[in-house]
Amino acid sequence: MTNRNNFVDYFESHRFRGMNSRLSGRIRVLLPFLLLWLLGGTSWAAQRTSNLWWLPDVASKGGETIDQLLYFICFLTGGVFVLTQVVYIFFLIKYRSRRGVRATYSHGNNRLELIWTAIPTAIFIGLWGYSNHVWWDVIHATPPSDALEVGVTAYQFAFSMQYPGADGKLGRSDVKLISNDNLFGNDRSDPETKDNFTSAVLELPVNRPVHIRLNSKDVIHAFYIPEFRIYQDAVPGRTIDWVWFTPTKIGSYQLACSQLCGSGHYNMKAQVEVVSQQDFDKWYQEKVKPAPPPAQSEQKTAK
């Protein structure tokens, strides 16, 4: 049975041979790498000039560590991909059906099986070790005691922030108390909650750790700021208090809900402003100063 198809014919055709003779052997070997470099170079350049292809510039301390891990995986998987595909395509061309050449009769090789089981296992477990190390250092670490505490409650379809006021403490809260009148579930018997103030913008001082107390009023929402490499679902019925990060660059960002939460999900976002410590203090003083009676402030929250 001759099964020489167009693909095989092409590789044996004069045109292809002509191409071969024109290119020296070395260039032919380097060609794929050249292409890869061109592609890589273009996308690198594209990343520099616009945000079309690649990661948004990182703007938090933990984010830098996460990016290092991401790049490491990028190189690892990229290397594995190129290596396997080059070998694979080489096999496909070399072992194409040829007249009079019979396939090798082989059912396998146990030593090879052992090798290609052991090596990936080692790599994957090593990668897990590295990932887990970062997870422990960046995500699971206890927030520093001088961190700015901010309460964030998500609801269909907006975010509301609560700052601790003059005393620097948010005070006790309980998810059971969350309602339209009390978005943050503040325990009003606790005096520390009295001077808390709310904001529609997440205003943050640069280079100071921020500790988020995350709640949801109705369905599952998410707290996602791509530049900070931070994501956490906000789950109704529980308070999530392990999210913390340190913004490192002054600028405007967007806090987006990234968990489908209903028909208004597409536009559920809030502004994040990272400012200098002085600007932050100024903003904070203005917010604290009017100090309206607590009841009024709560009503404002509920709209």
Show contacts with another protein in window 133-172 (CB under 8 A): 134-136, 138-140, 156
Separation in Å, CA 288 to CA 41, 167, 192? 51, 10, 14
Q: How far apart are CA 71 and CA 229, in angstroms?
A: 14
Question: What number of other Cβ atoms are within 10 A of residue 160's Cβ?
Answer: 21
Tell me the one-letter amino acid at 26: R
Options 23-31, 70-78, 277-285, 286-294: segment touching another protein (CB under 8 A): 70-78
Is 236 a binding residue for another protein by CB under 8 A? The answer is yes
- Select 118 or 302, whichever has its Cβ closest to another protein: 118
Is 64 a binding residue for another protein by CB under 8 A? The answer is no
Is 202 a binding residue for another protein by CB under 8 A? The answer is no
Question: What number of other Cβ atoms are within 10 A of residue 87's Cβ?
Answer: 10
Is 256 a binding residue for another protein by CB under 8 A? The answer is yes
- Select 160 or 297, whichever has its Cβ closest to another protein: 160
Helices 61-94/110-134 angle, 10° precision: 160
- Select 37 or 95, whichever has its Cβ closest to another protein: 95
Query: Which of 77, 276, 277, 299 touches another protein by CB under 8 A?
Result: 77
Q: How far apart are CA 228 and CA 19, in angstroms?
A: 50
Task: List the interface residues with another protein, window 2-31 (CB under 8 A).
Answer: 3, 5-8
In the complex, the smallest distance separating the C-beta of residue 55 from another protein, rounded to whole angstroms, is: 5
Is 240 a binding residue for another protein by CB under 8 A? The answer is yes
Q: Give the strands of the sheet with 240-245, arranged side by side.
A: 197-199, 158-163, 148-155, 210-216, 240-245
Is 95 a binding residue for another protein by CB under 8 A? The answer is yes
Q: How far apart are CA 141 and CA 288, in angstroms?
A: 31
Is 173 a binding residue for another protein by CB under 8 A? The answer is no
Query: Which of 163, 224, 244, 280 touches another protein by CB under 8 A?
Result: 224
